[in-house]
Amino acid sequence: MNKTPPYDIAITMGDPAGIGPEIICRAVAKMTAKEQSRCLLIGDINTFADASVLTNSQLEFCDVGSVDGQAGAIAVANIPAPADQPIAAGQISAAAGDMAFRCVKEAVRQVQTKQASVIVTAPLNKAALHAAGHLYDGHTGMLAALTKAESSFMLLASEKLSTLHVSTHVALKEAIARMTPQRIIATVLAGHAHLRKLGLDEPNIAVAGLNPHCGEGGIFGSEDEEIIVPAVTELQSQGLKVTGPISADTVFYRASQGEFDLVIAQYHDQGHIPMKLIAFETTVNVSLGLPVQRTSVDHGTAFDIAWKGIADATNLGEAIAYARRLASHT
């Protein structure tokens, strides 16, 4: 019998120079006492304390490694900030980028050792991450490397519309090159498995076309007929409820009206633009295809407002709620 991890979620601090620490404090302050007891924070405990004061969250923290802990205090897996490299609010720095990386690495360890069920990540800054020598395209690529996963997929989920991407943080030319029948099939299967895990018996999945009007019979390109159609045909032969290619100028609207449970987007902006238009504040970023489960906010570090006490924690609250949902199905 598998032992239930002591924590449902492990929340990483993200870039300490950004809004991560303050939105975490705001979100945690809204939790019930039981929810707080099942939540592990990962980051510098002193930074969290400062953020709690800034946001008037009135939280107390204790190091998860302490023997007794502190009644009512929030557990923290402490990743100390470097004493010799001060981190300035709203500024890109290698020190902050390295801290963000170390927090994610620790979160992976917590899940792999069965101490936590699902990772929730606050935003990091890619420039700071690269300045620290961690050359990843973001959280998803970092998690794939840390867990030695062969592939990963980015799901953007909201109540009204959800999209899963064949490719994400690459140039458009490279995205088209990566769009193979095998990759499309793998993307659909990952989305189908995820929705089934959440209790949807027969997910209805749409595959967006690449070219305008899906190529219009080859007038605007042949990729839809030569790449997407064979993938959809193969998936249908496996018994999946998959439709496509459907022109991208209509498929997202149709899905938002309830016709489809999920849209497979062929590249980053094709899926992100409709999601951010329809559900900017509530969209949750979910990593699929990894041996660990992870949700995240769908916004950045907001350096322009960081550490001013005005950052909105709505999106993080949605990411936490989705993570709890995943934890309940683990």
Q: Which two tokens stand for residue 180?
A: 């193979």
- Relative orientation angle of helices 229-237 and 181-197, to the nearest 10 degrees: 40
Report percent pLDDT > 70 for the chain: 98
Q: Which two tokens stand for residue 10?
A: 């492990």
Q: How far apart are CA 277 and CA 247, in angstroms?
A: 18
Q: What is the DSSP letter of 228?
A: I
Q: Alpha helices, DSSP H only, in the chain? A: 20-29, 33-37, 45-55, 94-112, 126-131, 139-147, 172-178, 181-197, 223, 229-237, 248-256, 268-279, 314-328
Can you read off the two tokens belonging to residue 3? Answer: 């032992």
- Residue 329 tokens read as 């199905």
CA of 298: how far to CAs of 30, 174, 314, in Å? 20, 23, 11
Q: What is the pLDDT of residues 214-267, one digit of tens each?
A: 999 999 999 999 999 999 999 999 999 999 999 999 999 999 999 999 999 999
3-state secondary structure of 252: helix
CB contact at 8 A, 140 and 287: yes
Position 329 scores a pLDDT of 82
Q: Return the CATH number of the domain spanning residue range 153-288.
A: 3.40.718.10
Domain 1-152+290-330 matches domain 153-288 at the CATH topology level = yes
Which two structure tokens, joined as six digits, stand for 152? 């990963």
In sequence order, what are the beta bridge partners of 75?
40, 62
The answer to whether residues 101 and 276 touch, using CB atoms and an 8 Å cutoff, is: no
Query: Residue 169's pLDDT is what?
Result: 86
pLDDT tens figures, 196-206:
999 999 999 99
pLDDT in tens, 289-312: 999 999 999 899 999 999 999 999
Residues 181 and 234: their CA atoms lie apart, in Å, by 9
Q: Are 3 and 36 in contact (CB under 8 A)?
A: no
Rounded distance between C-alpha atoms, residue 267 and residue 205, angstroms: 16
Q: Which residues are within 8 A (CB) of 248 and not within 5 positions of it... i.e. 6 or more apart?
A: 208, 209, 210, 265, 266, 270
What's phi and psi for 121, nearest 5 deg?
A: -110, 130
Q: What is the pLDDT of residue 146?
A: 95
Q: What average pLDDT does range 160-164 have in this prediction?
A: 96
Tell how strand 284-288 and strand 293-296 pair up: antiparallel
CATH of domain 1-152+290-330: 3.40.718.10
Domain extents in the chain: 1-152+290-330, 153-288
318 neighbors 29 (Cβ within 8 angstroms): no
Q: How confident is the model at residue 287 (pLDDT cuts 50, 70, 90)?
A: very high
Q: What is the pLDDT of residues 50-98, one digit of tens each?
A: 999 999 999 999 999 775 557 789 999 999 999 888 999 999 999 999 9
